[in-house]
Copies of this chain bind each other. A is one copy, B any other.
Amino acid sequence: MFRQLGVIGCGLMGGSFALALKRGGLVKRVVGYSKSPSTVDRAKRLGVIDESADSALLAVSGSDIVLISVPVAATEGTLKTIRHGIEPGALVMDVGSTKRDVVDAARRVLKERLVSFVPAHPIAGKEVAGVEHADALLYQNRQVILTPLSQTDPALVQKATDVWAAVGSQVLRMTPENHDTAFAAVSHLPHLLAFAYFNAVMAQPAGREFLSLAGPGFRDFTRIAASEPAVWRDILASNREEVIKQLARLRHALDAFEHVMRSGNQEALEDLIRSASEGRGNWQMNARPGSAR
């Protein structure tokens, strides 16, 4: 049970975490700060936070658990601002989709408070942003990756593990490097593809007409193309090397398809499709390798 949660960035992710802790009876009081005063007002009116703070530092002071849920590029500035307010023994987490940059920023600015920081990435979200979409069940049956530093207090890593487990998440630990490589493959590249694909369709003279004909396959394939531009700009920029590596692999796979289509090799074309189709048919969300399928 925590005494006070300080949420910095009262959007979808931060708001959902506050609601989840309240729902589980895991916190007595939630204090929130957002750059935009109207966001904080909405969060308070919706009962997502109990009190609004006038600064990030004030949201942190007196809190024994802090969640930073700002765009990745704003993390370093936020850590700088709150550093002197972090109480001894407090647990400080972020929710960024990239982890190397966050860990580097923390190393640069947190100094003696580095022990408090447990970088976190919950694999959850919606294609709509904002506190009005906050959802106490957003993290239920989702994975959360923690990438603790060697300096992080092990007791706080345990606390972080416990609080995410208490809101229904499955908690994994990885190095920041492995995290960023894996998520370039399974999250960042699909977003890039969905954005680029949507732009490619719209750029055509008959693009609008085409879009009016699209069906349920298109709907699901492009759902992530509606994601928040500022958030995804930061993610793609901060993990660009890994994303570009994954893009090269994708181009290679596209070349293979184009080659068999041009050569008219029906059998090879079917083999390429079958490989994907069987792979996807056997895939299940949240199935750990080695666990029963």
Which A residues form the contact surface with B (CB < 8 A)? 123-125, 142-143, 145, 172, 181-183, 185-187, 189-204, 206-230, 232-233, 236-237, 240, 243-244, 246-247, 249-254, 256-258, 261-262, 264, 266, 269-270, 272-277, 279-281, 283, 285-289
Contacts and interface: CB of A to CB of B under 8 A. Distances in A.
Contacts of A266: 233, 237
A55 to B, nearest CB: 26
Contacts of A257: 192, 195-196, 236
Contacts of A185: 201, 204, 207, 210
Nearest to A184: B210
23 contacts: A142-B215, A183-B213, A185-B210, A186-B201, A186-B214, A190-B217, A192-B254, A192-B257, A193-B197, A195-B277, A196-B250, A199-B272, A212-B289, A215-B285, A220-B221, A220-B224, A227-B277, A229-B273, A233-B270, A237-B261, A237-B266, A244-B262, A251-B254
Scoring A142, A191, A216 by chain B CB atoms within 10 A of each residue's CB, the highest score goes to A216
Nearest to A186: B214
A29 B233 CA distance: 58
